[in-house]
């Protein structure tokens, strides 16, 4: 089990060039476990056209992936080693825990 910080997406601002820059609000630390994705997990996210380093994270509590219709999601999970992952899909949701598919962010 590892400790990580979840940064909740709060929308975006626009810089001087007109580019949208995401904004985040830090949340309390969470306890989680990061694992490689199984073949079944990879098949679940196959249609999302996600490229990069993909992992599965088990989290004590509840997290959401991107919900475009409600303009929510895009949350980040930041580990002590400096690696940051974007939540792209909820794989399992239970009352006490959630497993999410994440992709490593290399530009943060």
Divide the 108 residues of the chain into consecutive groups of 10 and give the mean pLDDT of each group.
Answer: 88 88 84 86 72 86 73 82 90 89 82
pTM: 0.78
105 in Cβ contact with 86 (< 8 Å):
yes
What's the rounded Cα separation, in Å, for the pair 24 and 44?
A: 27
DSSP label at residue 37? P
Tokens of 80: 């002590």
Q: Is 18 helix (H, G, I), strand (E, B) or coil?
A: coil
pLDDT of residue 47: 65
CA 8, 52, 91: angle at the middle one, nearest 5?
Answer: 55
pLDDT of amino acid 89 = 86
Q: Does domain 2-12+21-105 fall into CATH 3.40.228.10? A: no
Q: Where are the domains of the chain?
A: 2-12+21-105
Please, are residues 108 and 83 in contact by the beta-carbon 8 Å criterion? Answer: no
């Amino acid at each position: 089990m590892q400790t990580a910080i979840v940064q909740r997406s709060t929308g975006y601002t626009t810089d001087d060039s007109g580019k949208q820059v995401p904004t985040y609000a830090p949340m309390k630390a969470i306890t989680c476990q990061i694992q490689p994705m199984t073949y079944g997990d990879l098949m679940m996210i196959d249609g999302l056209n996600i490229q990069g380093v993909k992992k599965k994270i088990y989290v004590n509590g509840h997290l959401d992936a991107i919900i475009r219709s409600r303009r929510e999601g895009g949350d980040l999970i930041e580990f002590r080693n400096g690696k940051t992952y974007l939540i792209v899909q909820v794989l399992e949701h239970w009352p006490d825990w959630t497993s999410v598919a994440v992709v490593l962010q290399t530009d943060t």
